[in-house]
Structure 1
Amino acid sequence: MQPKSSTTYSLSKSNHKWTKFKQSNLKVASYFKELGQYAKAQKIKGCSTILKISDDGRFKNNWRCKDPLCPVCNWRKSVRNRIQVHQLLATESQQFPDMTYLFLTLTVKNVVGEDLKSELEIMGAAVSRMFQYKVLKESTMGYIRTTEVTINHGEPVITYHPHMHLLIMANKRYFSKQHNFYQTNDQLSNLWCRALRWQGAEKLVVNMTNLQLKCNK
């Protein structure tokens, strides 16, 4: 149930992104309305329509629809996850001073809507499989994975671009020439495509803070 009344506060555009995400929220609600899903549309539309901000600038006791397609809920979830990751990294850095962090992006070619779910399942299994390979298992300790899907509105069919972002805890000597941890671009590409059980890959850009790896089916 949505709150009947509350105290509202003005939000500075420089400090809050709520307005942008609320506008996207209303668009999503309108799409469901056009599809005839009126209850779902109304629920999403009512998300965070009244804001309460505490003295320290945080949102407080705001009604959220918690729909997985709601831009406002996804934004707030991403903020919460980011805070949790920062806290985790601070703790892990103290416990494992000999480890460093690398960012890895894994992608495949665009797929149509009917194939998106199965493609994400394939990618998820491939990531797990990839980090069981000896060359990565010996040089990494673990990772945090998130999934992102972007929409391509090109003609004649709308397609979706699934990709996975990984924050990897790796040995600090990963790039050292004195150890055999480091993998070349081609080697990493082969590992990703091997994990996907597919042949061929585009070139990838690799540096100490950003690993980008693509395999085009």
Structure 2
Amino acid sequence: MGRKSLKSVRQKEIIEAFYNVSKIESLENTSIAKVAKAMDVNTSLILHYFNSKEDMIFGLINYILERYKSIYVIEENGNVEIKLRNTIDNLFSKDWNNLVDDGVFYSSYALIFQDEKIKKAFKELHDSLRFYLAEVLKEANDQNVINIENPKKTAELIFVLVEGTYYYLSLFDSTDKEYHENLATYKDMALKLLNFKTELATL
């Protein structure tokens, strides 16, 4: 058990370094040697835990998923409506957009067109994020907080909005007024899909 734990910790440290170097150098220009240099370790240590840069990319995809999952960790004190509204707020916020560097995300995502295994890994990442949201929606629907027919399909539609939102808004500076106006508009569109049975002002 101890060895597995140590391995997991070391792999996470390497992937975090891989991510940070990729933000500076770009994913394409990041090598195992550069990651080792950033960590001040020998390349053999990296290769002990990852056989290749491709293996590190799979680790990076899992790292991205874990960062995105953090947006669902909400203190709601048992109030399902607050939990759902805060989840939507988080999805359409700078916090969500800042969880993962756009350059690293889109560079790694582009590899789905070259590698079926990476494509599968990204599919699982996106499916997981939709599943987590669908669970929140189902809970709210079961407790009559919202009125939707299919939590899974509604979660799918909301994530289509989320992904389209940040793809488009990546063309703007996040300090621009238009960026925030568009973000608010897209969030309102997502909220309308949920048919809340109470007004926000009543919370």
TM over 0.5: no
Higher percent of residues as strand: 1
Higher percent of residues as helix: 2
TM-score normalised by structure 1 residue count: 0.28
CA radius of gyration, larger in: 1
